[in-house]
């Protein structure tokens, strides 16, 4: 961060005004503007002078990734560390709603909450719907997702069956039985939080008294359901709290059942809004290429982009890689070639290089390229998210190893491993009393109830698989590790034997092999053709939101149409912003605006060669792109 990051060299930077502001405020900040750093600085200053022992500051984020970033930065200062404990709250919106509203209300109704897990809950409900109704639902090309409800009466979301039909009643009965069994989907906790507020409206006043100041990060991604509830708790009616929201409407890339986002209490809101248009991440060359894709262009000002030793930004060096369908698997080696041509060995060794696409998980083989898997067939989408949701136990282990590698810390990684074991235990016995706990590692040990042999076994697995980060082979997995995990889960759940769904959860899944036969637990491709070796992380655009990379390759992908091809006019500079575009195009613009604003130094795109005419390639070059064809193992600039 530059010395004048908060004030600017002339003292006129909008960050200084925002830092000093102690009233309700909306802050729209462009990519790389140091939004979270600014928020943490405000929090550290407030913490230094905070004297109350029973009132605190509430800090909410949309995702666990954003929450982790805030906690990590707060933890670096003694003042910030004070906010990580009572009476303050730093966490996700879901975490807040669960802790202060939904869970207390459900427990007061006598419901023992065992799991808040979409996959587990929907699978449980689906298996309790009679076969005939399941068949009728499947005939309409639907599945277990129909077993979600929208209110405390367990009214299913609209799925095409009338209320008086047996299928509708059976789906509702399965939802009600799930509540009685203590199994919930994540968004359903808002149903119970809303009922709590409706029955006991005084709860909102109590929460406002506890938290007189509210900060919300990444607010542009909040759904209408989330926004409506937070507005009711903190703002609606008399005596609202002081609230400051930080976000960027151009980066709202999360979708909720067709919603474009919040309708209630929209962001940014009128006269209380402040804008930060200057980025410390990238230089003006990337700013000029990305700015047209913003739904509401802010006139990005690039004030970064410098190299390790202060080298100037790479203006005119950004690369468009073109390929024929037969050469698609040469794109990642071609990207490595560009990186070696562009960066000195020191920057190659220290850099963070990524390749991302809007679509990363599909098995369809047509419309090449559809997803990341067309570029690298070993890509594993289940662990690629910033907040992984694995489908197999071995993926929980790989996700835990990924956290250790990314953060260098073990607490969160061990909890990720413990979360997998608790999920396995629920698959063993869905009647087991396994409740919701914040610290899952401690909870596993507690559930083993003094069984020293099994506690020692669990600790041994934690050390081997998470702390030491030893990726198991299939032979090791099938020769003992999966049996050990099964033994732990049976002991925790009280199951008589291993159940079929638990057996499926314990099945081995390959992580994929890189050149040199080295396993990649975290979707990393290696290039060792020269020294130093280069590592390229693969993922979805969602998974890298909020990150800064040395270089980013944005890959063409497909959903109804090829995304980058649909954005040609914006890439050519003949269109600017999202005015007059439909919702699908807005989503496409936002996703690729996020992707194109991740790199600090070098931006690359990969597109089909037949997307461009010779004249259009000339226009791309005039706009600052270098254009290269990747074919037959070679990368040749045009």
- Residue-wise pLDDT for 611-627, tens only, equals 999 999 999 999 999 99
Torsion of CA 240, 243, 247, 253, to 10 degrees: -40
Neighbours of 198 (CB within 10 A): 11
Q: Does 284-379+523-637 match 14-98+192-276 at the fold level?
A: yes
N-term to C-term CA, the chain: 37
Strand 534-540 vs strand 524-527: parallel, antiparallel, or unpaired? antiparallel
Residue-wise pLDDT for 132-148, tens only, equals 999 999 998 888 899 99
Report pLDDT for 62.
Answer: 81
Q: Taking a C-beta distance cutoff of 8 angstroms, is the pair 214, 243 a contact?
A: yes
d(CA 420, CA 403): 14
Question: What pLDDT, on the 0 to 100 scale, is given for residue 518?
Answer: 35
Cis peptide before 561 (omega within 30 of 0): no
Q: How far apart are CA 157 and CA 154, in angstroms?
A: 9
Tokens of 98: 């669960």
| pTM score | 0.77
CA distance 335 to 354: 10
DSSP state of 41: H
- Buried b / exposed e across 359-396, counting CB within 10 Å, b at 16+? bbebeeeeebbbbbbbbbeebbbbbbbbebebebbbbb
Q: Where are the domains of the chain?
A: 14-98+192-276, 118-184, 284-379+523-637, 393-505
φ/ψ of 214, rounded to 5, equals -125, 130
Q: Which among 603, 68, 601, 541 has a CA at the least distance from the CA of 351?
A: 601
Cα three-residue angle 533-534-539, rounded to 5 degrees = 150
What does the pLDDT read at residue 257?
Answer: 43
For residue 466, give Cα distances in angstroms to 460, 475, 580. 10, 18, 50
Biggest CA pair distance of the chain? 73
Retrieve residue 238's tokens: 């008399």
Look at residues 6, 98, 94, 100 and name the one whose alpha carbon lies nearest to residue 44.
6
Q: Strand locations in 96-241, DSSP E? A: 115-116, 183-184, 213-216
User: Which pLDDT value is given to residue 515?
Assistant: 34
- Locus of tokens 């792109």: 625
- Which ranges of 448-531 would DSSP assign to H, the alpha helix? 452-461, 474-476, 482-493, 500-505
- Distances from the Cα of 17 to the Cαs of 562, 565, 586, in angstroms? 43, 41, 31
Return d(Cα 221, Cα 228) in angstroms, integer. 13
Q: Cβ contacts of residue 634 below 8 Å, gap of 6+? A: none
Number of helices (H) and strands (E) in the chain: give both, helices first: 27, 18
pLDDT beneath 70: ranges in the chain: 1-12, 255-261, 363, 382-389, 406-409, 436, 438, 511-522
**What is the DSSP secondary structure assignment for residue 98, as one 8-state letter?**
I
Question: Taking the CA atoms of the chain, what radius of gyration do you get in angstroms?
Answer: 25
* Architecture of the domain delimited by 284-379+523-637: 3-Layer(aba) Sandwich (3.40)
CATH superfamily of 14-98+192-276: P-loop containing nucleotide triphosphate hydrolases (3.40.50.300)
């Amino acid at each position: 961060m530059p010395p004048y990051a908060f004030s600017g060299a002339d003292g006129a930077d909008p960050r200084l005004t925002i830092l000093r502001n102690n009233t309700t405020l909306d802050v729209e900040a462009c990519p790389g503007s140091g939004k979270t750093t600014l928020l943490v600085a405000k929090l550290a200053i407030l913490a230094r002078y905070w004297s109350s022992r029973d009132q605190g500051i509430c800090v909410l984020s949309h995702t666990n990734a954003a929450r982790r970033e805030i906690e990590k930065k707060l933890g670096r200062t003694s003042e910030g560390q004070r906010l990580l404990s009572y009476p303050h709250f730093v966490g996700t919106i879901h975490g807040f709603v669960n802790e202060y509203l939904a869970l207390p209300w459900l427990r007061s109704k006598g419901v023992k909450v065992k799991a808040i897990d979409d996959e587990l809950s929907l699978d449980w409900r689906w298996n309790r719907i009679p076969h005939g109704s399941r068949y009728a639902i499947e005939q309409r090309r639907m599945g277990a997702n129909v077993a979600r409800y929208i209110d405390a009466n367990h009214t299913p979301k609209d799925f095409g069956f009338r209320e008086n039909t047996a299928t509708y009643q059976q789906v509702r009965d399965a939802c009600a039985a799930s509540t009685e069994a203590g199994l919930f989907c994540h968004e359903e906790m808002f149903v119970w939080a809303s009922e709590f507020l409706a029955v006991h409206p005084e709860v909102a006043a109590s929460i406002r008294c506890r938290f007189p100041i509210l900060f919300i990060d990444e607010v542009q991604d909040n759904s209408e359901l989330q926004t409506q509830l937070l507005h009711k708790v903190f703002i609606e009616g008399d005596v609202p709290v002081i609230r400051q929201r930080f976000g960027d409407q151009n980066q709202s890339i999360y979708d909720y059942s067709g919603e474009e986002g919040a309708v209630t209490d929209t962001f940014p809101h009128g006269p209380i809004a402040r804008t930060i248009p200057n980025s410390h991440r990238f230089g003006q060359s990337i700013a000029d290429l990305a700015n047209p894709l913003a739904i509401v262009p802010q006139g990005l000002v690039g004030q970064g982009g410098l190299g390790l030793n202060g080298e100037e930004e790479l203006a005119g060096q950004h690369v468009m890689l073109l390929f024929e369908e037969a050469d698609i698997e040469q794109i990642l080696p071609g990207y490595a070639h560009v990186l070696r041509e562009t960066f000195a060995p020191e920057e190659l060794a220290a850099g963070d290089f990524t390749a991302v696409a809007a679509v990363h998980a599909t098995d369809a083989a047509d419309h090449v390229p559809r997803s990341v898997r067309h570029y690298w067939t070993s890509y594993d989408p289940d662990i690629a998210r910033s907040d992984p949701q694995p489908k197999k136990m071995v993926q929980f282990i790989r996700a835990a190893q990924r956290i250790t590698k990314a953060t260098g810390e073990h607490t969160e990684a061990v909890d990720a491993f413990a979360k997998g074991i608790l999920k396995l235990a629920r698959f063993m016995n869905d009647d087991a009393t396994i409740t919701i706990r914040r610290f899952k590692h401690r909870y596993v040990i507690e559930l083993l109830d003094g069984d020293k042999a099994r506690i020692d076994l669990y600790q041994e697995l934690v050390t081997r698989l998470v702390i030491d980060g030893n990726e198991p082979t299939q032979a090791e997995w099938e020769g003992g590790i999966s049996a050990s995990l099964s033994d732990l889960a049976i002991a925790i759940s009280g199951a008589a034997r291993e159940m079929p769904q638990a057996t499926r959860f314990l099945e081995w899944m390959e992580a994929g092999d890189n050149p040199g036969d080295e396993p990649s637990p975290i979707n990393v491709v290696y290039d060792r053709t020269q020294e130093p070796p280069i590592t390229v992380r693969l993922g979805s655009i969602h998974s890298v939101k909020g990150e800064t990379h040395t270089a980013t390759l944005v890959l063409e992908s497909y959903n109804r149409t090829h995304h980058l091809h649909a954005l040609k006019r914006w890439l050519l500079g003949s269109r600017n912003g999202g005015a007059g575009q439909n919702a699908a195009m807005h989503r496409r613009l936002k996703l690729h605006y996020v992707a194109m604003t991740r790199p600090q130094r070098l931006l690359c795109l990969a597109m089909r060669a037949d997307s461009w005419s010779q004249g259009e390639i000339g226009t791309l070059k005039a706009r600052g792109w270098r254009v290269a064809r990747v074919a037959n193992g070679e990368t040749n600039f045009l």
